[in-house]
Amino acid sequence: MAMNIPMHRFKYTNLTKDQIAQRLKATEAGPKSASETSDVLSGKSFRIITDKGLTLDYQFRSKNQLTFSENGGSRIQAGYGALTIKQGVLFAHMVPGAQKGYNVYVDLETDLATVFEVWFSSGMSIGRDQTVEDREVQREFYFGYREVAGKQPPEARHHLTNRIEGKGLYWKQDTGVEILEYYISVISVNFVEITRQADYLSFCSPSDYVMLSPNLFIHSRSEAEFSGIYTMQVMDLFGAPTQAGVRLGFNEKDELEYYMFRGDGEIVGQIAALEPFDQHGRNGMVAQPAAAKPQGAKVQAKPDVAAKAPPAKPDAAAKAQPAPEKGQRTTYRPVRSFTHMTDDQMHEAALKSTTAFGGVSPDAAPQTMSGNALPFTDKLVGKEFTLRYDHGGPVWHYRVKEKYKLSYRVDGENQWREVDYRAYEGDEDLIWFSHILLDTKPRASAQIAVDLTNGLSTCIYSHMGTPYYGNETTYRAIFGVMEMPGMNPPLYLRHEHTYDLVGQGISWSYSDQMTSMHFFASPHSMSWTIFTDNQTRGMQWSSPCLMVKLRPGIYIFCQNEEACNGAEMCELFNLNLMRGSGFSYNGSARGVSLSLVGALGRNIGKMDVTKFFGPKAR
Give the pLDDT band of residue 129 (cuts 50, 70, 90). Answer: confident
Select the more confidently predicted residue: 324 or 409.
Answer: 409
DSSP bridge partners of 222? 230
Instruction: Report d(CA 435, CA 429) in Å as an integer.
Output: 19
310 has a pLDDT exceeding 60: no
Instruction: Report d(CA 571, CA 559) in Å as an integer.
Output: 9
Total structural domains within the chain? 2
Residues 24 and 156 occupy one common structural domain: yes
Instruction: Report d(CA 613, CA 194) in Å as an integer.
Output: 8
The DSSP bridge pattern shows strands 568-574 and 579-588 to be antiparallel
Q: How far is CA 156 from the centre of its chain?
A: 33
Q: Name the burial class of residue 260, with classes exposed (0-12), middle (13-18) and buried (19+) by CB atoms within 10 angstroms of its CB.
A: buried
What's the confidence (pLDDT) of residue 296? Answer: 36
- Reported as a single tens digit per residue, the pLDDT across 95-125 is 999 999 999 999 999 999 999 999 999 999 8
**Mean pLDDT score of the chain:** 92
At position 7, the amino acid (one-letter code) is M
At position 28, the amino acid (one-letter code) is E
DSSP bridge partners of 528? 518, 541
Mean pLDDT of 500-504: 98
- Reported as a single tens digit per residue, the pLDDT across 232-282 is 999 999 999 999 999 999 999 999 999 999 999 999 999 999 999 999 999
- Give domain status of residue 297, yes or no: no
Helices (H), 332-431: 343-352
Residues 237 and 348 occupy one common structural domain: no
Q: Give the list of residues 6+ apart from residue 335 with CB closer than 8 angstroms, or none.
A: 8, 225, 563, 564
What's the confidence (pLDDT) of residue 398? Answer: 98
What's the confidence (pLDDT) of residue 618? Answer: 64
Give the pLDDT band of residue 413 (cuts 50, 70, 90). Answer: very high
- Reported as a single tens digit per residue, the pLDDT across 364-374 is 767 778 999 99
Of the candidates 545, 505, 473, 558, the residue with the CA atom closest to the CA atom of residue 202: 545
Listed in order, strand segments (DSSP E) in 466-562 are 473-483, 496-497, 504-511, 514-522, 525-531, 537-551, 554-560
What's the confidence (pLDDT) of residue 128? Answer: 78
Mean pLDDT of 20-44: 98
Instruction: Report d(CA 164, CA 268) in Å as an integer.
Output: 13
Mean pLDDT of 433-440: 98
Lowest mean pLDDT across 313-317, 380-384, 586-590: 313-317
What's the confidence (pLDDT) of residue 243? Answer: 98
Among 270, 298, 313, which residue terminates a domain? 270
User: What percent of the chain is modeled with pLDDT above 70?
Assistant: 94
Helices (H), 278-313: 303-308
Among 221, 238, 270, which residue terminates a domain? 270
219 has a pLDDT exceeding 70: yes
Q: For residue 376, what are the domain limits?
A: 343-607
- Give domain status of residue 477, yes or no: yes
User: What percent of the chain is modeled with pLDDT above 90?
Assistant: 86
What's the confidence (pLDDT) of residue 255? Answer: 97
Give the pLDDT band of residue 126 (cuts 50, 70, 90). Answer: confident
Lowest mean pLDDT across 147-161, 348-362, 542-556: 348-362
The CATH number linked to 184 is: 2.40.128.30
Residues 140 and 256 occupy one common structural domain: yes
Residues 262 and 350 occupy one common structural domain: no
- Reported as a single tens digit per residue, the pLDDT across 513-547 is 899 999 999 999 999 999 998 999 999 999 999 99
- Give domain status of residue 316, yes or no: no
Among 270, 298, 330, which residue terminates a domain? 270
What's the confidence (pLDDT) of residue 311? Answer: 34
Cα–Cα distance list, 412 to 96, 143, 396, 409 (Å): 72, 72, 9, 8
At position 185, the amino acid (one-letter code) is S
Mean pLDDT of 222-239: 97
Instruction: Report d(CA 67, CA 76) in Å as an integer.
Output: 5
What is the value of pTM for the model shown? Answer: 0.92
Of the candidates 229, 258, 287, the residue with the CA atom closest to the CA atom of residue 81: 258
Residues 250 and 355 occupy one common structural domain: no
Q: Tell me the backbone φ, ψ of residue 351, rounded to 5 degrees.
A: -65, -30
Cα separation of the two ends of the chain:
8
- Give domain status of residue 312, yes or no: no
Residues 497 and 589 occupy one common structural domain: yes
What's the confidence (pLDDT) of residue 315? Answer: 52
309 has a pLDDT exceeding 80: no
607 has a pLDDT exceeding 70: yes
Three-state secondary structure call for residue 345? helix
Give the pLDDT band of residue 313 (cuts 50, 70, 90). Answer: very low
C-beta separation of 116 from 101 below 8 A = no
C-beta separation of 282 from 161 below 8 A = yes
Q: Give the list of residues 6+ apart from residue 410 with CB closer than 8 angstroms, or none.
A: 394, 395, 396, 397
